[in-house]
């Protein structure tokens, strides 16, 4: 049972809440269980899909705050999109993986030989 804007308790289901409301409820439930479970890492996959920008920003802040606490497991947030200007803690590492037909092929824009040569020249210069 959850309580959202109306203040009345309702069963969490697709008949009563939007996808974004269900996502917010789910992530807050998972964060609340964090101290009760012991695991090395957590994975959250596309939890922000269907959320409005206000709830997405709040959810992200709560997730970062919870994942940045001492002695908490590593948390992976997988998503095809993030809002601009989100605030991250010093404990966060951001990895962007670009994939899809609209991305240039690495062999067309990147050369191992050129990169290795640049690295060697920088090492010799220092």
What dihedral angle (degrees, nearest 10) is formed by the CA atoms of 66, 48, 61, 40?
Answer: 20
pLDDT at 15: 65
Q: Is 24 exposed, middle or buried (0-12, 13-18, 19+ CB in 10 A)?
A: buried
The pLDDT value recorded for residue 5 is: 65
pTM above 0.85, yes or no: no
Q: What is the pLDDT of residues 7-46, one digit of tens each?
A: 777 676 666 666 667 777 777 787 777 778 788 888 888 8
Closest by CA position to 43, among listed 59, 58, 27: 27
How large is the average pLDDT for residues 90-100?
Answer: 78
Domain residue spans of the chain: 2-125
Q: DSSP code of 36?
A: G
Token pair 């210069």 in the structure block, residue = 125
pLDDT (average), residues 93-119: 75
């Amino acid at each position: 049972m959850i309580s959202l804007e109306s203040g009345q308790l309702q069963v969490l289901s697709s008949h009563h809440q939007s996808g974004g409301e269900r996502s917010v409820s789910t992530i807050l439930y998972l964060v609340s269980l964090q101290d009760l479970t012991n695991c090395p890492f957590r994975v959250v996959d596309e939890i922000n899909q269907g959320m409005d920008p206000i709830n997405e920003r709040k959810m992200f802040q709560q997730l970062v705050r919870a994942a940045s606490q001492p002695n908490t497991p590593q948390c992976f947030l997988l998503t095809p999109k993030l809002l601009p200007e989100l605030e991250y803690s010093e404990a966060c590492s951001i990895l962007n993986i670009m994939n899809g037909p609209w991305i240039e092929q690495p062999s067309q824009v990147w050369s191992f030989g050129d990169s290795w040569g640049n690295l060697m020249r920088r090492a010799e210069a220092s």
